[in-house]
Amino acid sequence: MAKKLELFYFDSCPFCQIVLRAIDELNIELEYKNIMEDRESLERLMKDTGRRTVPCLYIDNQPMFESADIIAWLQSNASDLKTKN
């Protein structure tokens, strides 16, 4: 079964941009949660983690921080993840 992936980010964050580029290169499909445009996403991130730190990748509702860790996880799991058409 495919993992549920959600990326909490905002556009002007340089670390988010690095993760977004990696997602594009790997052609991975996931749900985007821009915390600057979506108040509910920001509130969820803060409620779940006590932080407003991005990027944060939720993998089946489990948050992962740190852009390098997120990219490494995506690369090592890319063959099992849903790709964009």
Q: In this structure, are residues 70 and 63 in contact, taking their beta carbons and an 8 Å threshold?
A: no
The 8-class DSSP code of residue 2 comes to P
Residue 74 is predicted with a pLDDT of 97
* Domain ranges within the chain, ordered by starting residue: 5-80
Q: What is the pLDDT of residues 15-65, one digit of tens each?
A: 999 999 999 999 999 999 999 999 999 999 999 999 999 999 999 999 999
Q: Assign domain 5-80 to a CATH class.
A: alpha beta
Residue 56 is predicted with a pLDDT of 98
What is the sign, positive or negative, of the torsion defined by CA atoms of 56, 59, 63, 67? negative
Give the model's confidence band at 85: pLDDT under 50 very low, under 70 low, under 90 confident, else very high.
Answer: confident
